[in-house]
Amino acid sequence: MTTPQSDTPLPWADAPLTARLVLADGTVISGTGLGATGSAVGEVCFNTAMTGYQEILTDPSYAGQIITFTFPHIGNVGANNDDTETSNLAARSGVRGAVLRADITTPSNYRSAEHLDRWLKARGIIAIAGVDTRALTVLIRERGMPNGVIAHDPSGNFDIDKLKAEAAAWPGLDGMDLVPDVTSGQSYSWDETRWVWGTGYGRNEDAPFHVVAVDYGLKRNILRCLASAGCKVTVVPATTSAADILERKPDGVFLSNGPGDPAATGKYAVPEIQKIVSSGLPVFGICLGHQMLALALGAKTHKMAQGHHGANHPVKDFSTQKVEITSMNHGFTVDRSTLPTDVEETHVSLFDGTNCGLQVKDKPIFSVQYHPEASPGPQDSHYLFDRFVELMRRRKAG
């Protein structure tokens, strides 16, 4: 394997080496700094999506992580306000940094409102360009996601020993609850629907179903998908009690995606999820919500070596026998061998066989590990929001 050193600039990047990515094992990667200055520590992962870099960089599930983009041209379509995925606009992006192959070019897209470099600066995100991202990806695949420090200083002066020590000392995401950094501070209502070519976003002003969405790091397009499926949505903070949720008399409860270790967040979330499960209401979970629902039902979760991050992951749905191409972003997984007898596996990854979905037998409760809202990603799994609505419709019909 080639060590991803970049001690000389790429041929097209005649720029000084003003950034470093220092891994916990002592590996030092040099490149050109972009975005914010300073340093940040996090877990280094890779994402294989070819589109949607702004949605990826604003996905709260990436809190505590430094994203290596395997697609070489990042920033070429600029940035805009519509493609921001974090629903908590008062909080900065949870992502710690971005690693790029090529320098950011001048934006070329009719929707572009801002150069990505300026957008990164405004959000305090550090980036490094000119890195052999293929070699770094191979390193992560062979050794797992390392802890690292990304640093940007226009002077090009770095205390490498200090950065190495910081990377080695960071405890990592195992056992870390990052949800308080990304959840909303108060409840609010949502009725904006999915984007449509030629008209943009719409409004669902007469929704027949009321859903309470628990925000563990909720993405905006999930809310749009719920609204498009016929739901009036009330978003509540992650620490909201089951009693408060049930007092709102919802037709169903949604458990959102989010960052960090589900077992750590589950210390306060799982007991409330168990009460919601006992209420008999339809429940739908995605990503972290899926993992914590599994914990509430008696299963276990564990850390993955390289995780799943991308928009090209094949998943089989056992209920339809169809294969979907999905968007994924997680570093923890549900241990299928620990699922209790009243819970059945509904989806599985065709990459590595890990669990990607479950449902409770004889109860209107299900969840998936991947991101059916497709922002970014394919739209193969939009049907899951209709499945949730159908469960609420059946319950209301008695």
Catalytic residue positions?
A: 287, 371, 373
| Interatomic CA distance for residues 286 and 2, integer angstroms | 36
Neighbours of 131 (CB within 10 A): 24
| Cβ-contact 35, 67 below 8 angstroms | no
Which two structure tokens, joined as six digits, stand for 137?
A: 């990806």
> Whole-angstrom distance between the N-terminal and C-terminal Cα of the chain?
60
CA 65, 69, 71 angle in degrees (round to 5)? 165
| Interatomic CA distance for residues 328 and 370, integer angstroms | 5
| Cβ-contact 217, 291 below 8 angstroms | no
**DSSP 8-state secondary structure symbol assigned to residue 107:** P
| 235: β partners | 188, 213
| Cβ-contact 289, 256 below 8 angstroms | yes
| Interatomic CA distance for residues 133 and 101, integer angstroms | 6
Question: CB burial class (10 A; 0-12, 13-18, 19+) of residue 314?
Answer: middle
